[in-house]
Structure 1
Amino acid sequence: MQSANILIIVACLVGAVRAASDNSTVGVEAPTIVSIVFKYDPNKAAAIAAGVLYSVASLCLFTRLFMNKAWWGLHLPIASTLMSVGLFMRIPMATNPNSLSIFLVQAFFTLLPPAAYLAFNYILYRRFFVNCVDRRYSWIKPEKAIRCIVISDIATASIQGAGGGLEASTNTTSAKLGADIVLVGLILQTVSFAFFMILVVHVWHGINRDGLLFRKEPWRKILWILMFSSTAYMIRYIYRVIEFGQGNDGYLIT
């Protein structure tokens, strides 16, 4: 999944560099890489605040995992740490908007961690059935369900990567086709994750149906975590679909 996301990031960077170079003859007012990709100037105060919040979250997660020796979840605080670094990199990027090296670092560090967050939910879902409840509560065998979702994520991310490559083209028709392909990939990815949410809701319904004392079970928080975080991910997916659907001049992206 991460390799496919790298393709998307590289495609965006290529498109930004091409656009910046195409406009370099305009003069001192030529748009920068940052202005072309972001459509706004990064705010230093916001970058510091967000970076600090992610750093605090990373510290809490590292502490919790080491105390419980839960090494299987180590990629979660590592991803949060990378995200905080990426956000802090927006501080020098604000004063060096044409620095490709700074832009590339912040892009990789902010766009890749979400893949690890999703992976954590998938692993948590599988371990929930291994350690907490009977496997019969899963609509589909946990291993098979997660395998299908991961394959779907890789496929849809690859579609987005292919579309991103076309979108970076200087040909208007190819660029428009690329944007449409990226949008299709995003929609399919959203549908794929919606299937995962259905699996989680099915587990929730089955446990309640069998009359388990939900509030007294030590594992009840796991389902709350899965429901809450999955809902947050879905909001993000829907936002991105609308954002890409509106185009580069749309309300959300500007």
Structure 2
Amino acid sequence: MAIDRNYVLYHYTPNLPCAILLAVLFALTTVLHLYQRIKAHSKYFNPFIVGGIFQVVGYGARAGSHFNTDSTLLYAIQSLLILLAPTLYAASIYMVLGRIITFLHGEHLSYIPVKWMTKVFVAGDVLSFILQAAGGGIMTNGSKNTVKIGEWVIVAGLCVQIVFFGAFVITSLIFHVKIIRSPTTASERFMSKRGSLWPPRDWRGLLFACYSASVLILVRSVYRLVEFVQGNDGYVISHEVFLYVFDAAMMFSVMVVMNVFHPSFVLSKDNIGFL
């Protein structure tokens, strides 16, 4: 693996304490997600857990880069895994919405047929993943001109991610408004069972958790879009603080939000029996 010598891997020495701290924090929340997934048999959250593993390995490699800023291997590992993790979070979040709609018997309230919903959004997510992975691979394997091509391929992948996430949020909001105006028997029973506490530990809380995660990922994607549009000589990529504020903190928050409002709290066999 070789990069043009004129291509600068880092415009700074990666911060060791921050990288270690993020690796540890992501490890903790990922382990909790793994426990929740095993306990609830929530297979649809497997991509989310893999995304957490990507973050742990990515920031671990970034910590290693502190001691060897010229290592293209460490650079490629941390760059690709940290870049791709949010697409895996998105895949699980997309699958949750379809399950919420089916769970509440609200298929008639969704403007996208539920049988197609997960397939459409996950397909867009897969396309985004492929484009970003391909772009990252090109960036870590070429000349200065090829690196520029890789950056624009990543930009295309991020644009796909933003478009599909925007459509997902709109789809969620439309369903949310409709089920409030025309509640199903299942949704009414669930609310009466759980009461009016805030934040609600029912389908409403789960939807708000999905909104929160989506907004955080959207903000992070816009940051990445700006970073790659500016290129390797841009202001954003030259300052490490942006990575930790607009990527690491955002994605850690996504994982914690979904720990607190894990879908299994709602989409469980016990609740299906109740409804």
TM-score class, shorter: 0.7 to 0.9
C-alpha displacement at 1:183, in angstroms?
2.9
Give the whole-Å Cα distance in 2 for the aligned partners of 1:234 and 1:112. Answer: 14
Partner of 2:258: none
Secondary structure at the residue paired with 1:55?
A: helix
| Segment of structure 1 superposing worse, 98-107 or 110-119 | 98-107
Q: Check the 8 A contact 1:125/1:142 in 2, yes or no.
A: no
Give the whole-Å Cα distance in 2 for the aligned partners of 1:82 and 1:169. Answer: 24
Secondary structure at the residue paired with 1:139?
A: coil
Match 1:127 to one of 95, 99, 106:
99
Partner of 1:246: 230
Partner of 2:63: 91
C-alpha displacement at 1:180, in angstroms?
4.2
Partner of 1:197: 169
Alpha-carbon spacing, 1:166–1:146, altered in 2? closer, same or farther (3 Å): same
Q: Is 1:221 paired with 2:193? A: no
C-alpha displacement at 1:131, in angstroms?
1.9
Q: How does 1:152-167 map onto structure 2 within 5 Å?
A: 152-159=124-131
Give the whole-Å Cα distance in 2 for the aligned partners of 1:247 and 1:225. Answer: 33
Which amino acid letter does the alignment assign opposite residue 167 of structure 2? Answer: F
C-alpha displacement at 1:164, in angstroms?
5.9
Which amino acid letter does the alignment assign opposite residue 64 of structure 1? Answer: Q
The alignment's C-alpha RMSD in Å is 3.0
C-alpha displacement at 1:185, in angstroms?
4.0
Q: Is 1:72 paired with 2:44? A: yes
Give the whole-Å Cα distance in 2 for the aligned partners of 1:55 and 1:180. Answer: 31
Q: TM-score, normalised by structure 1?
A: 0.74
C-alpha displacement at 1:155, in angstroms?
3.7
Alpha-carbon spacing, 1:69–1:160, altered in 2? closer, same or farther (3 Å): closer
Secondary structure at the residue paired with 2:111?
A: coil
Partner of 1:118: 90
Number of residue-to-residue matches in the alignment: 225
1:74-108 C-alpha deviation (Å, 9 max, x unpaired): 34234313321321222222112223443344344
Which amino acid letter does the alignment assign opposite residue 219 of structure 1? Answer: W
- Structure 2 spans left out of the alignment, 5+ residues: 195-201, 239-275
C-alpha displacement at 1:230, in angstroms?
0.7
C-alpha displacement at 1:231, in angstroms?
0.8
Secondary structure at the residue paired with 1:89?
A: helix
Q: TM-score, normalised by structure 2?
A: 0.69
Q: Check the 8 A contact 2:102/2:114 in 1, yes or no.
A: no
Which amino acid letter does the alignment assign opposite residue 215 of structure 2? Answer: T
Which amino acid letter does the alignment assign opposite residue 73 of structure 1? Answer: F
Q: Is 1:147 paired with 2:107? A: no
- Structure 1 spans left out of the alignment, 5+ residues: 1-13, 24-30
Match 1:57 to one of 6, 9, 29:
29
Q: Is 1:18 paired with 2:6? A: no
1:126-181 C-alpha deviation (Å, 9 max, x unpaired): 21122234112212012313322233334445555666677665474x66565445
Partner of 1:210: 182
